[in-house]
């Protein structure tokens, strides 16, 4: 069985973005000896910028807890600015936020970001605040300590602090979810999670991923499993590969693993997928890619 280190993107002195997986599981976290290699934490991906002391995070599933611990132990100190952007707000994408240690540090600035049309500050605040305190958690968000800045932006924005151009696109998922195309210094990262293509591939997703250096696409089910899960809001391995081929991406990483798929199953699926698209793999917690 290959080791995580064998799957890391090749480090470069002048890379544009470093992407690291902290949560690769969909729906619910899982914990047993059969889920160690690919990980059992729910969705969380970090995007760090080499020439800026800035960190961006996509989704705050249970994986964000380990990210927080890593940041607190970093000898270089905490980033001057942390932005947490959300694809959507189902439990597996927000449930780790109350356990993100930097959020309790009064010297930390955290931007809570939701892109896409129809989002207002009050709506975003309500979602984040309501999962804290009361019947759900012993600490309210206002008691956490960090300085929170709530941001709602349209479908396209340039973040001047990191020189990243970010475009968001709404796609099919119960309650709605967003895909992202992130460009920096001529490099492209596309993230597509919790999407149900249906009977044909969503061509807007293909356009969003066009020519990407790295495409991160959810693949929760096999094609056979997907037949009995219509309306559940997810994709198959084959659909993720189709998007990668149609968009002409350089590298594909599939994530949001189903809680029923253990390491043995995922290793088998990875080998099968690589027969169809050689430069692809399944996401593992702790794996880094640089572009």
Domains of the chain, each with CATH number or no CATH? 14-290 (3.60.15.10)
How many Cβ atoms from other residues are within 10 Å of residue 280's Cβ?
Answer: 22
Q: At what angle do helices 237-247 and 263-276 cross, to 10 degrees?
A: 30
pLDDT tens-place string over residues 104-140: 999 999 999 988 777 778 889 999 999 888 888 999 9
Is residue 2 predicted with pLDDT exceeding 60? no
Of the pLDDT bands very low, low, confident and very high (cuts 50, 70, 90), residue 265 is very high
How many Cβ atoms from other residues are within 10 Å of residue 267's Cβ?
Answer: 15
pLDDT, position 291: 93
Q: What is the pTM of this model?
A: 0.92
pLDDT, position 222: 98
Average pLDDT, the chain: 91
Sheet with 280-282, side-by-side order of all strands: 156-159, 164-171, 177-184, 187-192, 214-218, 252-255, 280-282
pLDDT tens-place string over residues 149-197: 998 876 555 554 667 889 999 999 999 999 999 999 899 999 999 999 9
């Amino acid at each position: 069985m290959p080791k995580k280190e064998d799957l890391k993107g090749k480090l470069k002195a002048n890379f544009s973005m470093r992407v690291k997986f902290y949560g690769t599981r969909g729906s619910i976290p899982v914990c047993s000896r059969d889920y160690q290699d690919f990980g059992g934490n729910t969705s969380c991906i970090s995007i760090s910028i080499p020439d800026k002391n800035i960190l961006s995070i996509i989704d705050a599933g249970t994986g964000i807890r380990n990210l927080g611990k890593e940041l607190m132990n970093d000898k270089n100190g905490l980033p001057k600015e942390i932005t947490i952007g959300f694809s959507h707000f189902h439990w597996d994408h927000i449930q780790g936020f109350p356990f993100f240690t930097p959020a309790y540090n009064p010297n930390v600035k955290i931007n809570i970001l939701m892109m896409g049309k129809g989002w207002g500050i009050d709506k975003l605040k309500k979602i984040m605040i309501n999962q804290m305190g009361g019947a759900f958690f012993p600490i309210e968000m206002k008691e956490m300590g960090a300085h929170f800045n709530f941001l709602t932006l349209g479908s396209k924005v340039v973040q001047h602090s990191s020189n990243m151009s970010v475009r968001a696109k709404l796609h099919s998922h119960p309650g709605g979810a967003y895909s992202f195309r992130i460009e920096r210094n001529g490099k492209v990262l596309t993230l597509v999670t919790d999407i149900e293509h249906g009977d044909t591939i969503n061509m807007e997703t293909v356009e969003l991923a066009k020519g990407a250096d790295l495409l991160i696409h959810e693949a929760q089910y096999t094609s056979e499993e997907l037949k009995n899960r219509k309306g559940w809001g997810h994709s198959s391995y084959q659909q993720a590969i189709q998007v990668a081929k149609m968009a002409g991406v350089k590298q594909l990483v599939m994530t949001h693993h189903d809680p029923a798929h253990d390491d043995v199953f995922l290793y088998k699926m990875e080998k099968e997928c690589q027969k169809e698209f050689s430069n692809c793999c399944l996401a593992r917690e702790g794996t880094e890619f640089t572009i």
